[in-house]
Amino acid sequence: MKFSLYAVALVLSLLCSGTQGFAAKRGAANITGGGTFVVGDNLKGHFNFNAITHEDGSVTGKVSLRNPEGAPEQDVDGTGEPGLEGLPDGVDLAAEVDSLNINGNRATLSGVIRQSSAQRYVGLRMILTIEDNGEGNAETPDKITWGFYQRVTERLVTDFENPEAGAYPVGKKFLATDAENPEAGAFLVGDGDFDSQSFPLTSYVLTDINGGNIQLH
């Protein structure tokens, strides 16, 4: 559920190999759901989402999530910068969905976080993966998992042979930071945003929901 360099490496490997899930492209394909789940030391969270793929291929929807798991302090330099403090009580957030991938009884939604109780999450991409195991199936409940990812950042390059020309864009690149060596700063690892097709649907490890319902239509 957390951003890692391993996840970045996996995405790049998939991009190179051309591996993709089946995108829901037919009109009116949609998913809805809401409920509760338990993680960690009996911590209860809740979620709500909807997403639809329109006939023109565009995707719209919303996700709200209460993640009860605490997050560590990120102020590694001790500057006291606001927004980097630890989050012992977890985080509440809401995202606008712009990507949807459906395969069998699993689906992945992706979008940009627009609101959050912790400012550092605003602007990140979120990937929410769900599994619909039917109505009233006590033996195999519906499932859910999620992750947060940095956005693509546009690069500007200056022409050293003609400095008066100023900076010009050379495309968009993905920036990652090394958590084990934060002083190294950010480095380029790819050229595209994470979305609902960045990982195979079979690669996710999901958590059972213990209240609510998920439906693929």
Strands (E), 3-117: 29-39, 43-53, 59-67, 91-103, 106-116
Considering the domain architecture, whether residues 93 and 118 belong to the same structural domain is answered as yes
**pLDDT digit string, tens, across residues 61-119:** 999 999 888 776 665 556 555 555 667 788 889 999 999 999 999 999 999 999 998 88
pLDDT at 109: 94
Of the pLDDT bands very low, low, confident and very high (cuts 50, 70, 90), residue 135 is: confident
Average pLDDT, the chain: 76
78 lies in a domain? no
Whether residues 13 and 118 share a domain: the answer is yes
**Cβ neighbour number for residue 175 with a 10 Å cutoff:** 15
Domains of the chain: total:
2
pLDDT at 11: 41
Domain of residue 18: give its range. Answer: 5-72+85-151+193-216
Q: Note whether 164 and 138 are same-domain residues.
A: no
Q: At 20, list the tokens.
A: 């993709």
The answer to whether the beta carbons of residues 175 and 155 sit under 8 Å apart is no
Residue with tokens 């039917």: 134
Q: What's the Cα-to-Cα distance from 167 to each of 132, 154, 160, 163, 170, rounded to whole Å?
A: 49, 12, 10, 8, 10
pLDDT above 70 for 134 = yes
Same domain, 63 and 159: no
